[in-house]
Structure 1
Amino acid sequence: MRAMEFTLPREGGLSDDADDPGGVTNHGISLRWLRSLGQLEGDVDGDGDVDADDIRGLTPEQATALYHRHFWLRPGLQSLPQGIAICQFDAGVNCGLTRAVRILQEALCGMGQSVAVDGIFGGKTFSAVMSLCRLPYGEPRLATAMCLGRIRFYVDLAASPKRAKYLRGWVSRATDLASLVG
């Protein structure tokens, strides 16, 4: 899956950065997010709880399965044009699903589509994406606009001194993605 090939290497391995609000992270899966899945799905090591040991033991294959289920299938990205789906997937993983949809909706509005910027990927947002992508160069233009929207979001995040250190990597990721799909 092309989206996973782009995203997973950029999420990195085991990290326990005190400035990361998600806590200990492995392959981009944070302890905070894993706990939000509950014990049934979050207890990766099968010891009866969801803790840092689950993150430390998380394999790339387990991370891939979680990403596929929660960030590809659940939002229905398989129904989108490939370039837009890849952008949406990577934004969901890196920025959160709701923020990723808001970035998409802002890009759509900037390209003349009338959608609410509410973070909900409903029928109007889907129709606007499909309508725009039927136009000549619509898909690469929308994908590029989505990546630029992410950069604006990252610049705002980097206003916090604890997050400023991540800005270069975030911007690099968005520009690499724009090159891939734009």
Structure 2
Amino acid sequence: MASGNLPACLKVSLVHEGGWSDHPKDPGGATMKGITLATFRRFKPGASKTQLRNISQTDVEFIYRGGFWSPIRGDDLPHGVDLATFDFGVNSGPSRAVRYLQAVVGVKADGKIGPGTLKAVILADKKKTIQRLCAKRLGFMQSLKIWNTFKRGWSRRVADVEAMAVAMWLAHAGTPPASRKIELDVEADKAAGKARTQEQGAGGAAGGGATVGGGDAAITGEPNWLLIAGIAVAVIVVVTVLVMKSRQNKDRAAAYKAVAAAA
């Protein structure tokens, strides 16, 4: 179990949370080290933005433990799975992160980690659990209206957390550094291969869509503009999805490569 692993997980999350942010399109509003003003005020009623901006490290760790780590029962989750769940919770709420974790391991998704959830997580393949949870997390993010504003940063963050979480599990499982590096490099190559396939698929779809309508026009003498328009829309959707997935797998490949190099 990951008892005492909060500092390591928090270190990863804070790299992505960064420092001060008050983006007008961020529904969370003013944020410092991932802590929103609303969250800070639950611990310090009436706190100002200035106080949030100058929050102490002691308060940061206290808030993350009480607000995010304890609700996901981080001390009881396996190494790596704790990081993937914790970082998801920091971004999108602990209850949602737990529900998605429960969906991954095949138990009732009620947002609360009990004995049944813990047993399922412990028995599951840890690497696959981490990867599937991160994939579901990214899928949730893509459903948000603000996805287009934050998609690049979010995609890289989830990729980095996935790679770091897998490396964390491998290290805890006793995998020697050399073997760990090989396994991480393999994951990087898998992601890069998927990216290439998706990129080629996008190119093929775009090229195929450009020729649609020629046969119909040759038979009738007139192009079927309604058919062409409908197919063009479908092609655009397919190409967009494949390009997006290719970009995400490139992010995953880069993240695994970086973590492998560090290993």
TM (norm. structure 1) is 0.80
* Structure 1 residue aligned with 2:214: none
* Structure 1 residue aligned with 2:127: 140
**Matched length:** 160
Structure 1 segments unaligned to the other structure (5+ residues): 44-48, 110-114, 133-137
Q: Give me the whole-angstrom Cα distance separating, in 2, the residues matched to 1:9 and 1:63.
A: 14
- Which of 78, 86, 107 pairs up with 2:104? 107
Letter in 2 for 1:173: R
SS at match of 1:165: helix
* Structure 2 residue aligned with 1:96: 93
- Which of 25, 34, 44 pairs up with 1:19? 25
Q: Give me the whole-angstrom Cα distance separating, in 2, the residues matched to 1:71 and 1:98.
A: 9
Question: Alignment identity in percent?
Answer: 31
Q: Give me the whole-angstrom Cα distance separating, in 2, the residues matched to 1:117 and 1:74.
A: 15
Q: Give me the whole-angstrom Cα distance separating, in 2, the residues matched to 1:74 and 1:17.
A: 27
* Structure label with greater radius of gyration: 2
* Structure 2 residue aligned with 1:52: 49
Q: Give me the whole-angstrom Cα distance separating, in 2, the residues matched to 1:101 and 1:75.
A: 6
Q: Answer yes or no: is the 8 Å Cα contact 2:73–2:113 preserved in 1.
A: no
Q: Give me the whole-angstrom Cα distance separating, in 1, the residues matched to 2:147 and 2:59.
A: 28
Q: Give me the whole-angstrom Cα distance separating, in 1, the residues matched to 2:78 and 2:111.
A: 19
Q: Give me the whole-angstrom Cα distance separating, in 2, the residues matched to 1:155 and 1:21.
A: 15
- Which of 70, 80, 105 pairs up with 1:83? 80
Moved over 6 A (4+): none
The offset of 1:150, in angstroms, is: 0.7
- Aligned CA RMSD, in angstroms, stands at 1.7
Q: Give me the whole-angstrom Cα distance separating, in 2, the residues matched to 1:75 and 1:180.
A: 19
Structure 2 segments unaligned to the other structure (5+ residues): 1-6, 167-263
TM (norm. structure 2) is 0.57
- Which of 20, 31, 47 pairs up with 2:37? 31
* Structure 1 residue aligned with 2:229: none
